[in-house]
């Protein structure tokens, strides 16, 4: 089954926790909307190793109101705008800017997922 997962890290999950879980994330796009969800490469690479097609996360800490706004904008670009992953992030960051308090920005992994739209990523 293919899907998009939008998650925060309020539960304190880390790459070891994900690595130790059973199961796969086949053809799944992970939108990790929690603070520092893509500060380092360990979390994105674990999800890709477990079958995810793409991982999006934040460079640093993000403020709650901002991340809610950005997530809705990003989902609109991905799901109804028929943009590629890179185009969706670029448009969202142009629309919303970096986090006004922490200057955080969205990143994606792996690089080759950037030229695919959501339909291609979950096939």
Count of domains observed in the chain: 1
Beta bridge partners of residue 107, listed in sequence order: 57
Distance CA 115, CA 105 (A): 19
Distance CA 26, CA 4 (A): 11
* pLDDT category of residue 4 using cuts at 50, 70 and 90: low
Q: What is the pLDDT of residues 23-60, one digit of tens each?
A: 898 999 999 999 999 999 999 999 999 999 999 999 99
Q: Does position 3 have pLDDT exceeding 80, yes or no?
A: no
**Average pLDDT in the chain:** 90
What is the span of the domain harbouring residue 100? Answer: 3-122
Q: Using alpha carbons, select from 106, 100, 91, 83 the residue that is nearest to residue 36.
A: 106
**Token match 């991340």: residue?**
67
pLDDT of the residue at 7: 63
Q: Does position 11 have pLDDT exceeding 70, yes or no?
A: no
């Amino acid at each position: 089954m293919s899907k998009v997962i939008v998650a925060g890290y309020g539960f304190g999950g880390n790459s070891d926790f994900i690595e130790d879980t059973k199961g796969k994330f086949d053809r799944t796009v992970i939108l990790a909307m929690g603070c520092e969800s893509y500060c380092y490469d360990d979390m994105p690479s674990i999800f890709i190793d477990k079958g995810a097609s793409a991982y999006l996360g934040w460079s640093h800490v993000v403020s709650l109101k901002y991340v809610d706004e950005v997530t809705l904008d990003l989902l609109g670009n991905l799901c109804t705008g028929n943009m590629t992953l890179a185009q969706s992030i670029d448009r969202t960051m142009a629309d919303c800017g970096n986090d006004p308090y922490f200057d955080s920005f969205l990143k994606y992994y792996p690089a080759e997922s950037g030229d695919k739209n959501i339909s291609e990523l979950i096939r």
